[in-house]
Structure 1
């Protein structure tokens, strides 16, 4: 059996331990997590549906007119959904200072494609070849000391302040400053450069290969940008600051900047909420059934164990209460061979098994048979529940 099969078998045994109690608890945790995610997603969907969606030119009046009570925002701030084109902004606050001759000023330039962008994310990943080597060592020294030697991935992030405008030819209609400070939401970046550079082998690489250490074979360079003029949707808290509009991310929302339209965002959130709702119900129902079965089975096992312990104590007390009779009855010198215990062949047969009724064992041997994991009669091999002490007249 391979290591993967052994791991799967161990996980299966752990899941079915205690009649599936661990599996039921795991499903209950998954169901609870699904319900929390469902509540968060449904709340985000409700707030997005209630949020106003107005052109950027009318956004100031929407913010001033509404109090944001329906979506939980304070005065002067509202959760809005706007769609516009990305354009870089300069140090000037007026829209006339943003553009010169119809060309964007202050934008970054992509090294891979030469496109203008407001956000550039460059990633360099070092790809390693894992091999046991000539000596057959299975461990990887690079995996143990990678953080001390060298990082496998290097990321650089550059951005410039940018705004959203209604259209490339409607600069004077207004704009909204986009603030990314502290945002953890994914950005709608586009991959414009993807290239793999082979790494030349060195004497040190040969040494690594002999020892079985993972050695670098290639460098993967990637560049993702948010290009100028791209139309995106922003879902965030919009407010008025220094006579200009700005929008910032809301941590309770699943996204801040997205390529999708508002209808598509709402549709995806509705599908996600429905999936989380029914998956939570399904896993919760299954976990309740498994846990109920496990509790029932373990309760009956505990009850059976207590009954067996009670019978053992009663039988032990019966043996201790009549030591004289037991000693005279179990005397091997006075018992014929046909009346000796079939197990020890020393004492008289005094205990009959239930339900088969065979009288073939002495009380101590009958007690030992009952204590077995699968108690069976020594004669007919039928499963027994208990034994009864038989007294001669």
Structure 2
């Protein structure tokens, strides 16, 4: 680890453990909150997938006909019924075929014209995804600390991958019985789920260095070193599992993705999907519990430590205020004593207790002016304060000022 990396790590550690780890505890609590939210969504999706019927394309008609009455009332069964038929969450296993094969009579002859082909390999399929990923490298040059700061705050601000997708309408069929069996159309609108694509072409093209690249390297900035070009397709005949809302539309079956589920098209079977999602759910549950427990412990420790520090601060402040008031009173009394000692005090005006200072305080209720202010205060603090002259019980004393 370089010097800049160690300095950045030290600054981050100081920030995280500031105020006895409050910021670190809040960060762990946020991670626990996100894990719990993902666990709730994953558990709900697992319950829906586990309860959803797993059928073949030829069984869809009976499943949707039997579920028309219950699909609109059961929220876990799918979306509400549409105008052309009821929608229900189903899991269907089938083979990929182009939609034109079901719409045209001579489907074997016309099928090839309706596919999208890879530019490099020539492979054809119903979905073609072309992606270009720029691979960056960095050399910590003269101003390499700028890279550490940018990575710490926001990371790289450049787009490192661009992709384009082309597709044609396609269906899922029951491979052994096609074209006599039923089929259903796959509606890809609004779906952001991962697709079970097959890589047919991959090429890494190095990027020629330029004077600007050399300047980026000297300043410690990221500079491109290569471009990865990939082409992926969804080929015909591939067995995939569709998990979504199936309904009747224009006399045929159509399946759409559900935003509440993490899968739409997958190469896994239902049992494999349930096992995979069950494992992810358990991981999220335990991570939420662990991070939540750690966050509660850190925040509880931080609150206790900061409360103790606050009480100590209040006690020190109160003691300091008392010391300051005592010091001010002592200084004022000393100044008064010095002033009185500097002048000649007649014997009849001296305090009857200390015989050093002038009589300044009169006792209440007797009204005798026989003590200085300091001695009057000491008499008041006695358990049974009495006037030194008449021995009458006193309540307080009053400072008397000369006009």
Question: What is the TM-score of this pair, normalised by structure 1?
Answer: 0.72
Specify whether residues 302 and 111 from structure 1 end up closer, same or farther in structure 2 by C-alpha distance, changes over 3 A only: same
- 2:304 and 2:40 map into 1 onto residues whose CA distance is 32
Selected match of 1:85 from 88, 95, 100: 95
| Deviation at residue 130 of structure 1 after TM alignment | 5.1
Matched residue of 1:100: which SS? helix
Selected match of 1:179 from 182, 187, 212: 187
1:317 matched to which residue of 2?
A: 325
Q: Is the 8 A contact 2:130 2:229 kept in 1?
A: yes
| Deviation at residue 57 of structure 1 after TM alignment | 0.5
Specify whether residues 176 and 89 from structure 1 end up closer, same or farther in structure 2 by C-alpha distance, changes over 3 A only: same
Selected match of 1:209 from 214, 222, 235: 214
Matched residue of 1:83: which SS? strand
2:115 matched to which residue of 1?
A: 107
1:118-143 CA distance string (max 9 Å, x none): 0111123445665689xx67689xx9
1:251 matched to which residue of 2?
A: 259
Indicate yes or no: 2:303 matched with 1:295: yes
| Deviation at residue 98 of structure 1 after TM alignment | 7.1
- 1:35 and 1:207 map into 2 onto residues whose CA distance is 47
2:3 matched to which residue of 1?
A: 2
Q: Is the 8 A contact 2:26 2:295 kept in 1?
A: yes
Q: Is the 8 A contact 1:233 1:261 kept in 2?
A: yes
- 1:173 and 1:79 map into 2 onto residues whose CA distance is 21
Structure with the largest fraction of helix: 2
- 1:18 and 1:137 map into 2 onto residues whose CA distance is 32
- 2:322 and 2:272 map into 1 onto residues whose CA distance is 74
1:49 matched to which residue of 2?
A: 50
1:354 matched to which residue of 2?
A: none
| Deviation at residue 71 of structure 1 after TM alignment | 2.5
> Which structure 2 residue ranges, 5 or more long, are not aligned?
151-157, 339-403
Specify whether residues 79 and 295 from structure 1 end up closer, same or farther in structure 2 by C-alpha distance, changes over 3 A only: same
1:306 matched to which residue of 2?
A: 314
Matches within 5 A, 1:1-393: 2-66=3-67, 67-68=70-71, 69=74, 70-75=76-81, 76-90=86-100, 94=103, 97=105, 99-100=107-108, 106-127=114-135, 153-167=161-175, 169-199=177-207, 205-206=210-211, 208-209=213-214, 212=217, 218-327=226-335
Q: Is the 8 A contact 1:165 1:176 kept in 2?
A: yes
Matched residue of 2:89: which SS? strand
Specify whether residues 72 and 85 from structure 1 end up closer, same or farther in structure 2 by C-alpha distance, changes over 3 A only: closer
Specify whether residues 206 and 100 from structure 1 end up closer, same or farther in structure 2 by C-alpha distance, changes over 3 A only: same
Q: Is the 8 A contact 1:192 1:224 kept in 2?
A: yes
Q: Is the 8 A contact 1:137 1:212 kept in 2?
A: no
- 2:21 and 2:143 map into 1 onto residues whose CA distance is 39
Specify whether residues 286 and 151 from structure 1 end up closer, same or farther in structure 2 by C-alpha distance, changes over 3 A only: closer
Q: Is the 8 A contact 2:126 2:235 kept in 1?
A: yes
- 1:312 and 1:283 map into 2 onto residues whose CA distance is 43
| Deviation at residue 99 of structure 1 after TM alignment | 2.4
| Deviation at residue 206 of structure 1 after TM alignment | 4.5
Specify whether residues 102 and 174 from structure 1 end up closer, same or farther in structure 2 by C-alpha distance, changes over 3 A only: farther
1:194-240 CA distance string (max 9 Å, x none): 11234567xxx346536758776544321011111111111000000
- 1:216 and 1:324 map into 2 onto residues whose CA distance is 77
- 1:295 and 1:215 map into 2 onto residues whose CA distance is 46
Matched residue of 1:120: which SS? strand
- 2:295 and 2:216 map into 1 onto residues whose CA distance is 49
- 1:307 and 1:29 map into 2 onto residues whose CA distance is 35
> Which structure 1 residue ranges, 5 or more long, are not aligned?
144-149, 331-393
| Deviation at residue 112 of structure 1 after TM alignment | 2.8
1:267-322 CA distance string (max 9 Å, x none): 11111111111111111111111111111111111111111111111111112223
